[in-house]
Structure 1
């Protein structure tokens, strides 16, 4: 068995490795695109409505006062660009994500780059891909021949999780459940988050062949049919290390051990969003679980790794955009042509 990451120094070294690999890939496939969750299905506006009459122990941080906040919500595929200028088809297996940016949030934040936002990032699977940061770093090398047969064997569980995620068929991102995968503070307690659609879909037997069918399904639902979508925003409390572990990121917190509790509603009105100005806004926006009030600070090693990873990749992306505007370079220098 591989040993857990034994020190902060070792974890930082692993994170350096992940960031270096991600930056290199980002340089090749599109410097001003996200390296993860790069393909967007839409950036939507909506409302984050805190539940009225919450009991005192749930009136924490963002949920302290019943009110309605404006939000931006981004739906995406989890993978990186296939190559420069090309995304994978939506019909290919992938993680599907939702990122929620709550606006006009007062209070002390963990990071100071956004003063009045609270972000939540969730995927359509309740657990993370790997147990720890080391396995996550090595998972990225699995197809390169750099790992020993023994190490590949140790990562079998992660391949099995990827297979389960890949087997999920989705018709409309507005109608499926998402989970935070990793835990967060809730005052002096710990929770995981989930958003569950109020009108869940029946998983389709087959998915459309269109490369962008997930965006098209949202356009059809919100714009052409004029419907609105709503999610219940739920929390699950930590119980103990056996049933709801903080550091074992591949063990699901079972609802039987820790029931979901509704603390808010996410409402997405019918709207038009499939136009160029919205897409530019989408590309410039940064979502991070570390854009948060202190009361909801991320916990656990995977969340800790996301703090630097998200920040440094976003900084690189924004620097690339600024540099292209400030001093254009020839295409041979910036490799700005299809691979």
Structure 2
């Protein structure tokens, strides 16, 4: 049996003196990305995970009879919630799919009752995940350094990016074959060009989980989805190949994913402040707390794309107080995500609405 989960206290976080300066730098760098893309295309997009490949609508069912350590926050009450799922890749500009990048999954769970974080409008609980287990930088200031370099490539030399991505994929596969995983290579375009429907997604960063601390994961479990796990998409000459593939697949299949929780059981081995350290599953196992079900549908339905991709934002800080984001990377996500959404709202002249918010 694994050790008992660590109880949450505010002391699990270590707030650095220069975090405000780092957040200011993130806002400025995101402005560079946002402005460049908006000016070049005439339309503002997200500063990260700009390109969506599918918008799904389904239900999330919280299991009944969970043990006390898992029956926390929104998962303390069994029941069904409507959920939106947005599948994406991580760049801040709209790139052809031949440039292969890590996949992202954003969830917006509707009608979640309870005390909310300051400034968290509406009644939704948001989760943001990627198909990797560790973040590329240990701290927000280190991430800012990488982001500044990437910002200089925004909307430039797509042909060179495609060529570089092909080379980096080859390097990444060679490293993986000898047991070396490189999140940095993946973030630069060397990630396998996999089908997002078959991927397992992870929060990378920790969160308060009621009385405890946890990371989250969403994993495909229905045969129609697991059959797609690891399947690579040929995007040669098809700039929107991933979106086209997902749309074709979701027209004929239903999907089922498990929502899983990984409780922190040792702050030394599962640190809060360094997301480059993997929380090993043999020491802190993932446990199912809910199931997401999606019926076959048009994953690029224009009305849903408008409502979700254009008129909503996803933020880990749109949440219950019981699921407060923890660690310096999460603290640095709050203001820049809001900053990015406000830029989109102004430039596109399209109000962004949070479901359940009082207007």
Provide TM-score, normalisation by structure 1.
0.82
Give the C-alpha shift of residue 202 in structure 1.
Answer: 4.1
Q: Decide whether the 8 Å contact of 1:171 with 1:217 is kept in 2.
A: no
Q: Structure 1: how far apart are the matches of 2:35 and 2:134?
A: 29
* Correspondence for 2:73: 61
1:271-326 C-alpha deviation (Å, 9 max, x unpaired): 123233222221221000011111111000000000111111111211222389xx
SS of match in other structure, 1:57:
coil
Structure 2 partner of 1:317: 344
1:221 to 2:228 alignment: no
Question: Structure 2 CA distance, aligned partners of 1:290 and 1:242?
Answer: 25
Tell me the SS of whatever aligns to 1:99: strand
Show the counterpart of 2:32.
24
Aligned-residue offset at 1:72:
0.9
Structure 1 residue 161 corresponds to structure 2 residue 161: no
**The residue matched to 2:107 in structure 1 has which SS?**
strand
The unaligned stretches of length 5 or more in structure 2 are: 1-13, 153-180, 352-359
Q: Which residue of 2 aligns with 1:181?
A: 204
Alignment of 1:111-130 (within 5 A): 111-130=118-137
Kept after mapping to 1: 8 A contact 2:37/2:44: no
1:245 aligns with 2:271: yes
Three-state SS of the structure 1 residue aligned to 2:69 is helix
Aligned to 1:334: none
Please tell me whether the aligned partners of residues 102 and 186 of structure 2 are also in contact (alpha carbons under 8 angstroms): no
Corresponding residue to 1:257 among 283, 286, 290: 283
Deviations 1:8-41 (A, max 9, x none): 5511111101111111221121162111111011
Q: Does 1:46 align with 2:58?
A: yes
Deviates more, 1:255-264 or 1:200-209: 200-209
CA–CA distance in structure 2, aligned partners of residues 9 and 133 of structure 1: 12
Distance in 2, Cα, partners of 1:70 & 1:256: 32
Question: Deviations along 1:90-121, whole A, 9 cap, x unmatched?
Answer: 22121210000000111111144522100000
Mapped partners of 2:271, 2:243: distance in 1: 35
Give the number of aligned pairs. 299
Q: Deviations over 1:191-249 (max 9, x none)?
A: 000011114234236633222121112111111xx211111110111122331111111
Structure 1 residue 188: Cα displacement: 2.0
| Alpha-carbon distance change, 220 to 9 in structure 1, aligned in 2, over 3 angstroms | same
Consecutive unaligned residues in structure 1, runs of 5 or more: 1-5, 82-86, 146-158, 325-339
Q: How does 1:188-207 map to 2 (within 5 A)?
A: 188-198=211-221, 199-200=225-226, 201-204=228-231, 207=234
Q: Distance in 2 between matches of 1:38 and 1:78?
A: 7
The structure-2 alpha-carbon separation of the partners of 1:202 and 1:34, relative to structure 1 and needing over 3 Å to count, comes to closer
Shift of 1:49: 0.8
Secondary structure of the corresponding residue to residue 128 of structure 1: coil
Which residue pairs with 1:335 in the alignment? none
Q: Does the Cα contact within 8 Å between 1:45 and 1:72 map onto a contact in 2?
A: yes
- TM-score, structure 2 as length reference: 0.78
- Are 1:222 and 1:270, in contact at CA under 8 Å, matched by a contact in 2? yes
Residue matched to 1:149: none
Q: How far off its partner does 1:167 sit?
A: 4.1
